[in-house]
Amino acid sequence: MNVVLKQSLIEALEPLGNNAAAFFLAASLYHAHKVSFAAAAAMADLNFDEFAYRLREHFDSGFRVEDAVVEEDLLLVDRLAKHS
């Protein structure tokens, strides 16, 4: 799929570096819970650390941690601690 960007968008992305459009599209999909962190990094053609760095640089946070996932992990740790 080829995407044609409006000139104003191209101009806005230009100072943000190479492959900015791919990064922001991948980051948007990640933040919208449509793709995983690893999938978004691959879409942006960045490794794990580079993608996390760019997320922090442009969005002030690298990873999205959901409350439900944290609660689930805490319950698992509690169960494991009781069995050791």
Within a domain: 33: yes
Which band of pLDDT confidence, cut at 50, 70 and 90, is reported for residue 65? Answer: low
* Owning domain of residue 57: 7-82
3-class SS of residue 24: helix
Query: What's this model's pTM, rounded to 2 decimal places?
Result: 0.70
Residue 2: predicted pLDDT: 82
Residue with the two structure tokens 């794990």: 48
DSSP single-letter state for residue 34: S
Within a domain: 2: no
End-to-end CA distance of the chain, in Å?
A: 53
Within a domain: 35: yes
Give Dmax over CA atoms of the chain in angstroms. 61
> Looking at the 3D structure of the chain, how many domains does it have?
1
Quick: pLDDT tens for 37-52.
899 999 999 999 999 9
Within a domain: 30: yes
Within a domain: 11: yes
Quick: pLDDT tens for 9-19.
889 999 998 88
Looking at this protein, which amino acid is placed at residue 18? N
